[in-house]
Structure formats: structure tokens, C-alpha cells
Amino acid sequence: MHDQVIDPAGPGAPCPACGRADELRVPLPAAARITTLGEARAAIDGLDAALAVLLERRAAVAAVVQRLKPVGGFAGRDPNREREIVAAMAEHAPSLGPERLARIMTAVIEAGLDAAESP
């Protein structure tokens, strides 16, 4: 396993809404090199922990978006923007494909909207 910085905005890009450091080091194991169930589960646990941090950070930024939009929340959803997000995600994760990513991102977007509307 090796660490790689996941920083889609570019190195050192600030995330003012996040209130945390702007880099996340994530072990990205090569699946072909995993040989035991324990290694596989440890790899998934590490990826899940990083994914949780990224989802929380995304929700914080999405809450800012909701405050900045003329109509926020579920009523202000932008289907075109959501399609753009899915298309961009499909470029980064082609093996998942647009249909699966649409389901994943719909859940992520709706959870973020729900979190933004919760006190």
C-alpha cells in the first residue's frame, strides 16, 4: 500500500467551509496485490474512513451552496448540475459506470441536502 494525496481541486487548494486541513492521505492499495481476507478488509476499512471524511466535507460545502443559491434545499435541485457531477465522476471511476454512479451520487446529494436542512 502507498499513500496518495487526494486533492481534486489541486495541491494546497483551500477549503474554507471545511475547517480542516486541505489534504487527505489515503492508502490506495492495488487490489491485485491483496492476498488475504484480512488485508482486503483492512484496505476497505481505510478507504471507508477516507470516504467518510470526504462525504462530511462535501456535505459542508454543499450546505454553503444551498445558502448561496436563490432557492436552496430540495426545491432548488439542479438536474443539469447533477448530470454534470455524474459524468465527471464516471470519468474518474469508469468501471462503476454512469448508472451506478448516478445512484450513488443521488444518495450523496440527497443526504447532503437533508443534512443542510437539519438543525
Whose cell is 443559491? That residue is 69
What pLDDT, on the 0 to 100 scale, is given for residue 76? 86
Residue 83 shares a structural domain with residue 61: no
Residue 103 shares a structural domain with residue 80: yes
Residue 61 shares a structural domain with residue 88: no
What pLDDT, on the 0 to 100 scale, is given for residue 82? 93
Residue 8 shares a structural domain with residue 60: yes
State which residues form the domain around 34: 1-68
Distances (CA, A) of 112 to 18, 20, 117: 14, 18, 9
Residue 101 shares a structural domain with residue 118: yes
- Model pTM score: 0.75
Q: How many domains does the chain have?
A: 2
Closest of 53, 47, 72 to residue 62, by C-alpha: 72
Which ranges constitute the DSSP H helices of 3-96?
A: 37-68, 79-92
Give me 56's grid cell: 462530511
What pLDDT, on the 0 to 100 scale, is given for residue 18? 47
Q: Which residues of the chain have pLDDT under 50?
A: 1-4, 10-12, 14-19
What pLDDT, on the 0 to 100 scale, is given for residue 8? 52
Residue 61 shares a structural domain with residue 90: no
Residue 64 shares a structural domain with residue 77: no
Domain stop point among 68, 88, 104: 68
How many CB atoms neighbour CB 10 within 10 A? 7
Contacts (Cβ under 8 Å, ≥6 apart) of 115: 59, 62, 63
What pLDDT, on the 0 to 100 scale, is given for residue 21? 58
What pLDDT, on the 0 to 100 scale, is given for residue 105? 95
